[in-house]
Chain A
Amino acid sequence: MTAAARLQLRGVQKAFGETEVLAGVDLQVHEGEFVSILGPSGAGKSTLFQLLIGGIRPDGGTIHFDRAPLHNGTARFAFMPQRDALMPWRRILDNTTLGLEVQGMDRRAARAKVAPLFAEFGLQGFERHYPAQLSGGMRQRAALLRTIVQDRDMLLLDEPFGALDALTRAAMQRWLQTMWKRHRWTALLVTHDVREAVFLSDRIYVLSPRPARVLHEFHVPLPRPRDASSSRLEEASRIEAMVLATLLTPEPAGEQSS
């Protein structure tokens, strides 16, 4: 934590009409760090992402990236939406090049850049398939590939595995951990799955119900890979329990644990 944060939110507020969604959110993400935001449903996690990418402005507070205020149109983030949002009319290869095409790269160059990554993402041989021909897990891997090839400073993952069945989700979490260990992306993950947050993150912010503010910040000092070795499992369960307690009894729990 010595270096300055890449992404820094201070007292960010946002209301839609009468509904106050964010009531002063403070958080930061450092270079190469994997940070999760956990919160009850409707706590404003998605609003937070919209502030970063969707062109809406906060009513109060500041958002800085690399110490400069975040402007509209400076595309710092590669965003992975909740459902995979693959375009059904594009083949997988052309779905994964979407971000590069939007950046103005010509189609052939974009394909040449993405194609070598298909093997690493377990998608080799499916370049010419349409999304409807792929399983849920493969679709998510394609969506992640589309996200990371954009070469942006930071990944924003919005409940990327929320729509998958439990088994596929567990497999995808392990796979994402391996990928992250190799590439050390700076990433911010929104989720409502406590185990997923503990399994993947360096730090976890727990949000209060709406209007959201940060109730507590948890560090997850577990070494990776975080597989099923029993001592680590115990420590992970302890952190999970604390996070869950904070989520379920929002008011007092925040001060007790660390």
Chain B
Amino acid sequence: MSENLSFPAKVGPAVVAVGVVVLAWHLYADLSGIGVTTLPSPLRVAQQAWVHRQALFDNAVPTVRATLLGFACSLTAALLLSVLMDFSGLLRRALFPVFIISQTLPLVAIAPLVVLWFGFGLFPKIMLVALVTFFPMLVALVQGYAATEKEIVLLLRSMGASRWGVFRLARLPSALPFFFAGLRISITYAVVGAIFAEYAGAARGLGIYILNAKNNFRPDLVLAAVGVSAGLTLILFGLTVLIQRAAMPWIRFDRDPAP
């Protein structure tokens, strides 16, 4: 697989693809005569981002905080509930539909309500981030437990392991690949969720910064903030990959067993 490719061969195609899009955007903004208040060129976005770097940074901090705290809450909740649901079929049947319904709530409607109930502070942001990331994490964990090899379970039973022992020694580690797959998906939702929550009402944050920039007819600053949020997401995504490598050192070997 891609493990054998050199670093340039791995990231090269992605760099070229992004470069082509940016170039097309630049040419269009430059040559079509479209106004800078409608579609600024990428060069102008970058210039303005540099000029407003302090404001962008100050607004990125609360977004990162809301993202990480919200994500931490949802991870904790997903972990606890997944364990309880794994042990109790009754609980699983009772709660799963509730969580599915929670996924059908449109964020557009929920975000202003949460702000209305809990104000402009950090708490409603944490809640919204948790709401959008909780379900994918829960599903990943529940699926992961279910993917435990049956023979390993039988083996542990033959050794006299308790139900908790089987969970700790087999089901939990078996869920790790699923957990990290879920983590990679939800971390991208988390940033979007935080920005959306701020958009609905906040004192500071990338979401409210985007809203203000739009109201001031500054699409260049909107796009600059979008660039920052994309950068944040990529960094967080990269972190999950690094954490997975550290937590699952054996996956390197899964594809090439020794002869």
Contacts and interface: CB of A to CB of B under 8 A. Distances in A.
Interface in A111-141: 129-135
A159 to B, nearest CB: 11
A53 interface: yes
A103 B165 CA distance: 11
Given A73-B160, A88-B254, A99-B159, 17 more contacts: A78-B158, A81-B151, A81-B154, A81-B155, A85-B149, A85-B151, A87-B152, A87-B173, A89-B176, A98-B155, A102-B169, A103-B159, A103-B160, A132-B250, A132-B255, A134-B258, A135-B258
A87 B151 CA distance: 10
- By Cβ-Cβ distance, the 10 closest A-B pairs, closest first, are A79-B158, A53-B158, A132-B253, A75-B160, A85-B151, A102-B159, A81-B151, A130-B250, A99-B159, A89-B173
Contact of B161 (A88, A102, A130, A132): A102
A83 B151 contact: yes
B250 A89 contact: yes
Given A73-B160, A81-B155, A98-B159, A135 B248 contact: no
A54 interface: yes
A82 interface: yes
Nearest to B160: A75
A82 to B, nearest CB: 6
Interface string B158-175: 111100010001100100
Contacts of B248: 89
A83 B149 CA distance: 10
Contacts of B176: 89
A150 interface: yes
A82 B161 CA distance: 19
B153 to A, nearest CB: 9
Contacts of B258: 129, 133-135
B245 interface: no
Contact of A79 (B155, B170, B250, B257): B155
B156 to A, nearest CB: 7
Contacts, number: 73
Interface in A29-63: 50, 53-55
Q: Pick from A50, A132, A150 the residue with the most CB of B within 10 Å.
A: A132
Contacts of A98: 155-156, 159, 169
B154 A54 contact: yes
A163 to B, nearest CB: 11
Contacts of A156: 158
Given A89-B173, A89-B176, A132-B257, A102 B151 contact: no
For B152, B159, B170, B173, the residue with the greatest tally of chain A CB atoms inside 10 Å of its CB is: B159
A248 B122 CA distance: 74
A102 B165 contact: yes
Contact of B257 (A75, A81, A82, A135): A135
B164 to A, nearest CB: 11
A130 B61 CA distance: 41
Contact of B254 (A50, A82, A132): A132
A89 B250 CA distance: 6
Interface residues of B, number: 26
Contacts of B173: 87, 89
A199 interface: no
B10 interface: no
B180 to A, nearest CB: 13
27 contacts: A53-B154, A53-B157, A54-B157, A54-B158, A75-B158, A75-B160, A78-B158, A79-B155, A79-B158, A81-B155, A82-B151, A85-B151, A87-B173, A89-B250, A98-B156, A103-B159, A129-B258, A130-B253, A131-B250, A132-B250, A132-B255, A132-B256, A133-B253, A133-B257, A133-B258, A135-B258, A135-B259
Contacts of B155: 79, 81, 85, 98
Contacts of B152: 85, 87
A150 B155 CA distance: 12
A89 B151 CA distance: 15
Nearest to B253: A132
Contacts of B255: 132
Interface in B168-214: 169-170, 173, 176
Nearest to A78: B158
A77 interface: yes
Interface in A74-97: 75, 77-79, 81-83, 85, 87-89
A85 B158 CA distance: 13
A77 B160 CA distance: 10
Interface in B219-259: 248-250, 253-259
B116 to A, nearest CB: 46
